[in-house]
Chains A and B, each alone.
Chain A
Amino acid sequence: MDLSSILNASLIYATFRSATPIIYAALCASLTQQADILNIGTEGIMLTGAFAAVAISYTTGSWVLAIIVAMLAGLLMAAIMAVANIKYGADICAIGMGINMFAIAITKFLMTSVFGMRGTFSNPDIVAIPRVVIPGLESIPFLNEVFNGWALTEWFVIVFIVLMWFLLFKTKWGLHLRSVGQYPMAAQTAGINVTSMKYQAILISGLIGGLAGAHLSLGYSRLFTENMTNNRGFMGVAAMFFGNAHPVWTSVGCLVFGLTDSIGARLQAYGIAAQLVLMLPYIVTIVVLSISMVSKYYTKKRRQSSLLLIR
């Protein structure tokens, strides 16, 4: 086996490419997690966004409009979740799974009834999110291979991670949101409208989930397939747990998934059993979650012992 054909410059972009949809999904889950709401519905929100993006891009020919409508579609799905959970006290996991099943069904239904297509929705009229070609980079072999030709949304995710971090940790709104998540009663005593904050968290999360979907169907590819998210939303939720809902660490978790996926794709070509390679992302998920759980346990234990000392 030739190691240089596995670990080369193209692996860097491949890692980032397959991680990006998961990063968007993980950020969608992180925002609600900061308000102590587990967004299981990420998968469904993303799928709806992916369909809306392709449908609008196909009918209007505008990728900008497609992204906007995809985000609104995500918002709509999130709104169902928010009302059911906050107003009527439905269990968030149950309603989240409901949203996931609903998304598979409604996208399939609309694809068949409105567009008369089955299975896969691909058409030359679908306008993809443009790819960024940096002039002058072609002459530098390594950098050209790594950085040229990224989709716009792939560059934007970097900005977005920083933006999320700033929003959560450097603004008053972020502080309010986190306090609602950590100790709602204290937040309420301090005069924060807990219900309103929770609504805001879920709705904004819906916008991000819609963007995740738009990137999946128009940035990562240029088609829509039934259930095209294929558990990427759930992997985002797992990465969110790994990163403890911190945007930067969560994204690192996603990159680990992306790296295993890309190395796996390259290993398969060299006769390593497909079943083993296809297991890799899931093994990594379990390992990564175990590590984060163990470290959380010790942090908690350390905090407890220091409290005992004060007494």
Chain B
Amino acid sequence: MRKLIVALIISLVSVSSMFASGTNEKTVSEDSGKTRVCVVYTGNLGDKSYNDSCNIGSQRALEEFDIELKSLEGSTNDEWKSNLLSACEDGYDLVICAASNLQPYLEEFAPMYPDVKFAIIDTTVNEPNVQSISFAQNQGSFLAGAAAAMFTEKSDISGINDEAVIGWVGGMDIPVLQDFYTGYEQGAKYVNPNVTILKAFAGSWNDPLKGKELALAQYEQGADIVMNVASGTGPGILEAAKESGKYAIGVDLNQDNDQPGSVLTSMVKRVDTACYLTIKSVVEGTYKGGTTSYLTLADGGVSLTDFSVMRNALGDKFPEDIVEKCSVINDKIISGEIVVENYEGFGPSAN
């Protein structure tokens, strides 16, 4: 009897631990002849940001095409690597690496599995069986930075102080995020050369409490508005804005409604489009390995939301001039009148 109980406890613990590796959504059996797609995430779904955006794209493809879809989540480096390897081994037609954290592993595995079609979002991997899709996040962030720098001057709005200080909190210190910041800083300085920008990294994609603490620290240091580029760490940053009566800027998906009245706008990055188009290309047989695409402000790859949630929240006090100015800047970037700088290794020429 005793042994039975011990065995029961051990098996209970080990069986349920398997859920932790985060495998799900195997829709149909393996020999159905459908296109089999696997998306490997660096982080978890449910971040209401980058990963969810990618998932929206793959779910859309699942509805429209006859495919089988699997999503692999993970929160640490070794989980990402083993998830990618198991995706390679499992004979999928298409393996999508959802984020740039997977780049070194894809560079290692892509030559080992020449028959698998790969795609990577947010960075470039130069292999014949990899399609790379990057975004001009610097252009979108330029707009966000400009909006933030204008907003911090509106001291008649509650919670805004006299100092021209804005903040920025990122998830992990990776090159893509530096590209975000490069644009954000340039955009803010374009509007007001004297603006101070506080910058911090949480060191994680899924620690909202750390994000909250960093955002609160920046608010206490005089920032009125903080942009988050932090996936699952982001909800904490938006919560900090709500709680301290300050403001935030959303990222990747439209986060304006996550804490309504506290999120000025969101810099939307169409990861969903990238994911959807890649799956579509494989289904329709137009997939081409070794190619790179770069989605910009002009293509609608990145954009700001329409400020409507904030307009409703602030009513008469809503500064319409920010929206007008942003749309002018938007046109100037598209026409090439404003050239937004890139972080080293990014931009159309980097491909």
Contacts and interface: CB of A to CB of B under 8 A. Distances in A.
Given A98-B13, A117-B46, A221 B199 contact: no
Interface residues of A, number: 46
B209 A230 contact: yes
A10 B220 CA distance: 7
Contacts of A117: 46
A33 interface: no
B289 interface: no
A115 to B, nearest CB: 11
B16 A221 contact: no
Interface stretch (B62-70, B142-150, B211-219): B211-219
B208 A221 contact: yes
A90 B7 CA distance: 12
B22 A227 contact: no
Interface in B5-61: 5-6, 9, 12-13, 16-20, 22, 43-48, 51-52
Interface stretch (B121-129, B232-240, B311-319): B232-240
Contacts of A265: 200, 213-214, 216-217
Contacts of B47: 119-120
Interface of B: 2, 5-6, 9, 12-13, 16-20, 22, 43-48, 51-52, 75, 167, 173, 198-201, 203-204, 206-210, 212-214, 216-218, 220-222, 232, 235-236, 239
A225 B208 contact: yes
Interface of A: 5, 8, 10, 14, 17-18, 80, 83-84, 88, 90, 98-99, 101-102, 104-106, 108-109, 117-120, 122, 216, 220-223, 225-228, 230, 261-262, 265-266, 268-271, 274-275, 278
Among A5, A105, A216, A266, max chain B CB count under 10 A is at A105
Contacts of A271: 199
- Which secondary structure characterizes the binding site on chain B? helix
24 contacts: A14-B213, A18-B213, A88-B5, A102-B16, A105-B17, A105-B18, A106-B19, A117-B46, A118-B45, A118-B46, A119-B48, A120-B232, A221-B212, A221-B239, A223-B208, A225-B208, A228-B208, A230-B206, A230-B207, A230-B209, A230-B210, A261-B213, A265-B200, A268-B201
A284 B232 CA distance: 27
Given A109-B19, A117-B46, A225-B235, A14 B209 contact: no
A209 B79 CA distance: 28
Contacts of B48: 119-120
Contact of A109 (B16, B45, B198, B201): B16
A150 to B, nearest CB: 13
Nearest to A21: B209
Contacts of A10: 220
Contact of B203 (A109, A222, A274): A274
A262 B239 contact: no
Contacts of B213: 14, 17-18, 261-262, 265
B199 A223 contact: no
B45 A119 contact: yes
Given A5-B222, A102-B13, A119 B20 contact: no
Contacts of A275: 173, 203
Given A120-B48, A265-B213, A105 B208 contact: no
Contacts, number: 128
B38 to A, nearest CB: 17
- Which secondary structure characterizes the binding site on chain A? helix
A88 B232 contact: no
Nearest to A222: B239
Given A102-B13, A109-B19, A266-B221, A120 B235 contact: yes
Contacts of B204: 230
A233 to B, nearest CB: 13
A88 B2 contact: yes
Contacts of B218: 269
Contact of A220 (B44, B206, B209, B220): B209
A273 B19 CA distance: 36
A18 B51 CA distance: 28
Contacts of A222: 239
A266 B217 contact: yes
A268 B199 contact: yes
Given A18-B213, A109-B16, A120-B46, A84 B9 contact: yes
Nearest to B51: A119
A271 B13 CA distance: 44
Given A119-B48, A266-B217, A266-B221, 13 more contacts: A10-B220, A80-B9, A83-B9, A102-B16, A105-B19, A105-B20, A119-B46, A225-B207, A225-B232, A230-B210, A265-B216, A268-B201, A269-B198
Nearest to A2: B221
B117 to A, nearest CB: 27
A99 B17 CA distance: 10
B203 A278 contact: yes
Nearest to A80: B9
Nearest to B167: A269
B46 A228 contact: no
Nearest to B242: A222
A257 to B, nearest CB: 12
